Structure 1
Amino acid sequence: MRAGLITPARRGGRQNGDQLTRDTARLLKGQAVSRYPSQKERTQYDQHNRPCHRGFGVSEQQPCGQCPMLHAEIVRQRALIDQLQQMCTWLSTRLAELRGAVAAAEALMREQAERPTMPRGRLLTQLHERLITALFDADRR
């Protein structure tokens, strides 16, 4: 087989998740996002779901939702949600600015179609300048 292609599994033609992940990463040259959890993530999941099996005792006084691993994951997820909300706000602001610029250009075209006050060549130049300026403003932010 040629280098870089997915190799067949050794036993029975089946591949486990780790082999598929390595092959996919090789195929995409490091740009692959694993859809299988890592060994560390699997261990953390097992420790969270079955603490007694891993040497962790569950206290009767510890209320549900106070598991340190669960609390850390909740904090991490909330931080990600906050980042995504900030990104969405920023993107919606940029989109509103671009829509406003396009609406203004469309209004200028409609006004010039009804009551022309400038030559067509100048109108095209004006529209081009307005839209390019709007794009540059969006790129600067």
Structure 2
Amino acid sequence: MTTEGENGDTTLLGGDMSSELSANRTAMSFERTALSAHRTLLSMMQASLSLIGFGFTIFQFFTSLSNEYLKGEFPQHTARLFGLAMVSMGLILLSLGIYDHYKAMTLLRERKRHLVDLGLVHNYLPIRIASSMAISILMLLLGLLALADILFSL
């Protein structure tokens, strides 16, 4: 980054070109790390959505199959237990993903703030809350509703 001095000349904020380039590389590495954390959260969301959706579908399929065609010959508790296990695993995975993402972003913010305070990074652009975090929290709530439906449907 450059600024204009009193007599119109441009000076580097970091002092010389190599320290300025180093500061810019450091700032960009924070952005890459944040994007990597977001991709990890999205992967956790994808896996947990598969588990939740598969567990709920298996439960609904075998429950309706048992009610309509098998007339109670198929033990419904088997489908319920399998559905509960799959949805629970999905919710646990999603909860861990949300927690890990939150901790990683908090640590990244602290490190970036420390480097700004030391003057090693010039511009402090706060790391934003990703929309993937909001969507994952909504997905967690929907997963809890699916779990409640499996638990309390008689």
Bigger relative contact order, structure 1 or 2 (CA pairs below 8 A, ≥6 apart): 2
TM-score, scaled relative to structure 1: 0.47
TM-score, scaled relative to structure 2: 0.43
Return the index of the structure with the highest Cα Rg. 1
Give 1 or 2: higher helix fraction.
2
